[in-house]
Protein backbone atom coordinates (compact mmCIF):
# COMPACT_ATOMS: atom_id res chain seq x y z
CA UNK A 1 0.00 0.00 0.00
CA UNK A 2 1.17 3.56 -0.74
CA UNK A 3 1.57 5.99 2.13
CA UNK A 4 -1.36 7.60 3.92
CA UNK A 5 -2.78 11.01 2.99
CA UNK A 6 -2.94 13.18 6.13
CA UNK A 7 -5.08 15.83 4.43
CA UNK A 8 -7.76 13.33 3.43
CA UNK A 9 -7.70 11.70 6.88
CA UNK A 10 -8.21 15.05 8.63
CA UNK A 11 -11.41 15.88 6.70
CA UNK A 12 -13.48 14.46 9.56
CA UNK A 13 -11.26 15.36 12.51
CA UNK A 14 -14.06 15.91 15.03
CA UNK A 15 -15.80 12.61 14.25
CA UNK A 16 -12.55 10.61 14.23
CA UNK A 17 -11.28 12.24 17.44
CA UNK A 18 -14.38 11.79 19.58
CA UNK A 19 -13.81 8.09 20.43
CA UNK A 20 -10.25 8.81 21.55
CA UNK A 21 -11.46 11.50 23.95
CA UNK A 22 -13.91 9.03 25.46
CA UNK A 23 -11.19 6.38 25.67
CA UNK A 24 -8.64 8.48 27.58
CA UNK A 25 -11.38 9.79 29.88
CA UNK A 26 -11.61 6.22 31.25
CA UNK A 27 -7.88 6.00 31.98
CA UNK A 28 -7.24 6.54 35.70
CA UNK A 29 -4.45 8.49 37.35
CA UNK A 30 -2.01 11.17 36.26
CA UNK A 31 0.80 9.66 34.18
CA UNK A 32 4.14 11.36 33.70
CA UNK A 33 4.72 9.71 30.32
CA UNK A 34 2.37 8.66 27.52
CA UNK A 35 3.06 6.78 24.28
CA UNK A 36 0.45 6.98 21.51
CA UNK A 37 0.76 4.09 19.05
CA UNK A 38 -0.53 4.98 15.59
CA UNK A 39 -0.52 8.70 16.32
CA UNK A 40 -1.33 9.65 12.71
CA UNK A 41 -0.86 13.33 11.85
CA UNK A 42 -0.60 14.33 15.52
CA UNK A 43 -4.10 15.75 15.82
CA UNK A 44 -4.89 13.68 18.93
CA UNK A 45 -2.00 15.03 20.96
CA UNK A 46 -4.34 17.88 21.93
CA UNK A 47 -6.68 15.30 23.47
CA UNK A 48 -3.83 13.86 25.52
CA UNK A 49 -2.66 17.35 26.57
CA UNK A 50 -6.15 18.27 27.71
CA UNK A 51 -6.34 15.09 29.81
CA UNK A 52 -2.78 15.22 31.21
CA UNK A 53 -1.24 18.68 30.66
CA UNK A 54 2.06 17.84 32.38
CA UNK A 55 2.71 14.49 30.72
CA UNK A 56 5.54 13.91 28.24
CA UNK A 57 3.91 12.50 25.10
CA UNK A 58 5.59 10.42 22.39
CA UNK A 59 3.75 9.66 19.16
CA UNK A 60 4.63 6.56 17.12
CA UNK A 61 3.45 5.80 13.58
CA UNK A 62 4.64 3.70 10.65
CA UNK A 63 3.61 6.26 8.01
CA UNK A 64 6.34 8.71 6.95
CA UNK A 65 3.69 11.14 5.66
CA UNK A 66 1.78 11.07 8.95
CA UNK A 67 4.93 11.57 11.03
CA UNK A 68 6.06 14.43 8.80
CA UNK A 69 2.68 16.13 9.21
CA UNK A 70 2.72 15.57 12.98
CA UNK A 71 6.21 17.04 13.39
CA UNK A 72 5.30 20.06 11.28
CA UNK A 73 2.04 20.83 13.10
CA UNK A 74 3.24 19.96 16.62
CA UNK A 75 7.02 20.53 16.87
CA UNK A 76 6.94 20.44 20.67
CA UNK A 77 6.09 16.73 20.78
CA UNK A 78 8.39 13.81 19.97
CA UNK A 79 7.16 11.79 17.00
CA UNK A 80 8.87 8.53 16.03
CA UNK A 81 8.66 6.62 12.76
CA UNK A 82 8.37 2.95 13.72
CA UNK A 83 6.34 -0.22 13.19
CA UNK A 84 3.72 -0.57 15.92
CA UNK A 85 4.31 -4.31 16.21
CA UNK A 86 8.05 -4.00 16.86
CA UNK A 87 8.37 -0.58 18.53
CA UNK A 88 9.68 -0.85 22.10
CA UNK A 89 8.73 2.49 23.69
CA UNK A 90 7.45 2.21 27.25
CA UNK A 91 5.45 4.71 29.32
CA UNK A 92 3.09 5.01 32.26
CA UNK A 93 0.21 4.97 29.79
CA UNK A 94 0.22 3.44 26.30
CA UNK A 95 -2.68 4.38 24.03
CA UNK A 96 -3.76 3.54 20.50
CA UNK A 97 -6.62 4.99 18.47
CA UNK A 98 -7.98 3.16 15.39
CA UNK A 99 -4.58 1.74 14.46
CA UNK A 100 -4.19 -1.81 15.76
CA UNK A 101 -6.65 -3.21 13.19
CA UNK A 102 -3.93 -2.55 10.58
CA UNK A 103 -1.40 -4.69 12.48
CA UNK A 104 -1.49 -8.36 11.38
CA UNK A 105 -2.32 -10.64 14.29
CA UNK A 106 -2.95 -7.72 16.64
CA UNK A 107 -4.79 -9.92 19.15
CA UNK A 108 -1.62 -11.94 19.79
CA UNK A 109 0.35 -8.74 20.39
CA UNK A 110 -1.96 -7.23 22.99
CA UNK A 111 -0.41 -8.74 26.15
CA UNK A 112 3.06 -7.58 25.08
CA UNK A 113 1.76 -4.11 24.26
CA UNK A 114 0.06 -3.93 27.65
CA UNK A 115 3.29 -4.97 29.35
CA UNK A 116 4.96 -1.85 27.95
CA UNK A 117 2.64 0.27 30.10
CA UNK A 118 3.69 0.84 33.70
CA UNK A 119 0.10 1.69 34.59
CA UNK A 120 -2.49 1.47 31.80
CA UNK A 121 -2.85 0.24 28.23
CA UNK A 122 -5.87 1.71 26.42
CA UNK A 123 -6.97 1.29 22.82
CA UNK A 124 -9.90 1.72 20.47
CA UNK A 125 -10.49 -0.06 17.15
CA UNK A 126 -13.30 0.06 14.59
CA UNK A 127 -15.87 -2.70 14.88
CA UNK A 128 -17.66 -2.00 11.62
CA UNK A 129 -16.10 -4.61 9.33
CA UNK A 130 -19.56 -5.94 8.45
CA UNK A 131 -21.20 -2.52 7.97
CA UNK A 132 -22.58 -1.75 4.48
CA UNK A 133 -19.57 0.45 3.72
CA UNK A 134 -17.18 -2.48 4.09
CA UNK A 135 -19.46 -5.15 2.67
CA UNK A 136 -19.88 -3.03 -0.46
CA UNK A 137 -16.15 -2.38 -0.66
CA UNK A 138 -15.48 -6.13 -0.78
CA UNK A 139 -18.40 -6.73 -3.13
CA UNK A 140 -17.48 -4.09 -5.72
CA UNK A 141 -13.75 -4.91 -5.53
CA UNK A 142 -14.58 -8.55 -6.31
CA UNK A 143 -16.10 -7.60 -9.66
CA UNK A 144 -14.25 -7.50 -12.96
CA UNK A 145 -12.02 -5.75 -13.84
CA UNK A 146 -11.10 -4.66 -10.31
CA UNK A 147 -10.57 -8.13 -8.86
CA UNK A 148 -7.77 -8.80 -11.34
CA UNK A 149 -5.84 -5.90 -9.76
CA UNK A 150 -6.71 -5.98 -6.07
CA UNK A 151 -7.41 -9.68 -5.50
CA UNK A 152 -9.51 -10.68 -2.49
CA UNK A 153 -10.09 -7.74 -0.14
CA UNK A 154 -9.26 -8.72 3.42
CA UNK A 155 -12.04 -8.59 6.01
CA UNK A 156 -9.96 -6.69 8.54
CA UNK A 157 -11.98 -7.89 11.53
CA UNK A 158 -11.42 -6.76 15.09
CA UNK A 159 -12.67 -8.52 18.20
CA UNK A 160 -15.72 -7.90 20.36
CA UNK A 161 -15.29 -6.44 23.87
CA UNK A 162 -15.58 -9.82 25.57
CA UNK A 163 -12.71 -11.24 23.51
CA UNK A 164 -10.42 -8.32 24.33
CA UNK A 165 -11.40 -8.76 27.99
CA UNK A 166 -10.44 -12.43 27.80
CA UNK A 167 -7.06 -11.61 26.24
CA UNK A 168 -6.09 -8.84 28.65
CA UNK A 169 -7.61 -10.02 31.95
CA UNK A 170 -4.53 -11.54 33.58
CA UNK A 171 -3.34 -11.67 37.19
CA UNK A 172 -2.33 -8.16 38.24
CA UNK A 173 -4.64 -6.41 35.78
CA UNK A 174 -8.20 -5.09 35.70
CA UNK A 175 -9.88 -4.57 32.33
CA UNK A 176 -12.72 -2.32 31.24
CA UNK A 177 -14.02 -3.27 27.76
CA UNK A 178 -17.04 -1.86 25.94
CA UNK A 179 -18.44 -0.80 22.59
CA UNK A 180 -20.18 2.32 21.27
CA UNK A 181 -21.97 2.90 17.99
CA UNK A 182 -21.73 6.51 16.89
CA UNK A 183 -24.15 7.97 14.36
CA UNK A 184 -22.15 10.64 12.58
CA UNK A 185 -24.03 13.12 10.42
CA UNK A 186 -21.79 13.86 7.45
CA UNK A 187 -22.17 16.80 5.09
CA UNK A 188 -21.42 17.41 1.43
CA UNK A 189 -21.40 15.21 -1.67
CA UNK A 190 -20.51 11.52 -1.31
CA UNK A 191 -19.44 11.93 2.32
CA UNK A 192 -19.27 8.20 3.12
CA UNK A 193 -17.05 7.64 0.10
CA UNK A 194 -14.77 10.47 1.23
CA UNK A 195 -14.71 9.06 4.77
CA UNK A 196 -13.75 5.50 3.83
CA UNK A 197 -11.44 6.55 0.98
CA UNK A 198 -9.16 8.06 3.62
CA UNK A 199 -9.08 4.89 5.74
CA UNK A 200 -10.53 1.44 5.06
CA UNK A 201 -10.58 1.69 1.27
CA UNK A 202 -7.00 2.93 1.00
CA UNK A 203 -5.38 -0.40 0.00
CA UNK A 204 -7.92 -0.96 -2.78
CA UNK A 205 -7.70 2.58 -4.11
CA UNK A 206 -3.90 2.62 -4.04
CA UNK A 207 -3.70 -0.66 -5.93
CA UNK A 208 -6.09 0.57 -8.60
CA UNK A 209 -4.31 3.91 -8.88
CA UNK A 210 -0.98 2.18 -9.37
CA UNK A 211 -2.44 -0.02 -12.11
CA UNK A 212 -4.46 2.65 -13.94
CA UNK A 213 -5.84 5.97 -12.58
CA UNK A 214 -8.84 5.60 -14.92
CA UNK A 215 -9.63 2.23 -13.31
CA UNK A 216 -9.59 3.84 -9.88
CA UNK A 217 -11.97 6.56 -11.09
CA UNK A 218 -14.30 3.93 -12.51
CA UNK A 219 -14.24 1.99 -9.24
CA UNK A 220 -14.94 5.12 -7.17
CA UNK A 221 -17.94 5.95 -9.37
CA UNK A 222 -19.37 2.43 -8.99
CA UNK A 223 -18.60 2.15 -5.29
CA UNK A 224 -19.86 5.69 -4.64
CA UNK A 225 -23.20 4.91 -6.27
CA UNK A 226 -23.59 1.82 -4.06
CA UNK A 227 -22.74 3.87 -0.96
CA UNK A 228 -25.28 6.56 -1.84
CA UNK A 229 -27.96 3.90 -2.00
CA UNK A 230 -26.86 2.33 1.30
CA UNK A 231 -26.44 5.68 3.05
CA UNK A 232 -29.08 8.01 1.57
CA UNK A 233 -28.75 11.73 2.13
CA UNK A 234 -31.32 13.30 4.46
CA UNK A 235 -32.35 16.95 4.74
CA UNK A 236 -29.94 17.33 7.66
CA UNK A 237 -27.02 15.38 6.15
CA UNK A 238 -25.95 11.76 5.64
CA UNK A 239 -26.02 9.56 8.77
CA UNK A 240 -23.18 7.05 9.14
CA UNK A 241 -23.42 4.48 11.93
CA UNK A 242 -19.93 3.56 13.12
CA UNK A 243 -19.31 0.92 15.78
CA UNK A 244 -16.12 1.13 17.83
CA UNK A 245 -14.66 -1.24 20.44
CA UNK A 246 -12.69 -0.03 23.46
CA UNK A 247 -10.47 -1.63 26.10
CA UNK A 248 -8.63 -0.15 29.08
CA UNK A 249 -6.29 -2.52 30.94
CA UNK A 250 -4.86 -1.17 34.21
CA UNK A 251 -2.34 -2.73 36.53
CA UNK A 252 -3.69 -3.41 40.02
CA UNK A 253 -1.68 -2.08 42.99
pLDDT value, residue 6: 59
Report how far residue 69's alpha carbon sits from residue 139's, in angstroms, rounded to the nearest whole number: 33
CB 45 within 8 A of CB 59: yes
Mean per-residue pLDDT, 136-148: 95
Say what percent of the chain tops pLDDT 90. Answer: 78
Band (pLDDT 50/70/90 cuts) for residue 13 is confident
| pLDDT (0 to 100) of residue 27 | 97
Domain boundaries, given as residue ranges, for the chain: 6-251
The mean per-residue pLDDT over the stretch 139-147 comes to 95
Q: Which of 14-18, 34-38, 185-189 has the lowest mean pLDDT?
A: 14-18
- Segment 170-186, tens digit of pLDDT: 999 999 999 999 999 99
Q: Does 50 have pLDDT greater than 70? A: yes
- Global pTM? 0.90
Half-sphere CA count of 204, side-chain side, radius 13 A: 33
Which CATH number does the domain 6-251 belong to among 3.40.50.150, 3.40.50.880, 3.50.50.60, 3.30.390.30? 3.40.50.150
Give percent above pLDDT 70 in the chain. 96
pLDDT at position 5 is: 58
pLDDT confidence bin for 3, thresholds 50/70/90: low
Condensed to tens digits (0 to 9), the pLDDT of residues 191-248 reads 999 999 888 888 899 899 999 999 999 999 999 999 999 999 999 999 999 999 999 9
pLDDT of the residue at 97 = 94
Amino acid sequence: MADWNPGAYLQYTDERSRPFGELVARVPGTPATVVDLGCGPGHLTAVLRARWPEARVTGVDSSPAMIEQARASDPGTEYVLADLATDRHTADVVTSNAALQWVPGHRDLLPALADRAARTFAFQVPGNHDAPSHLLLREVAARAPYAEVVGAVERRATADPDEYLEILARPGWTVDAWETTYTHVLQGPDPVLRWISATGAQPVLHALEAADPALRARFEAEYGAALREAYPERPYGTPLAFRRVFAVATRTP
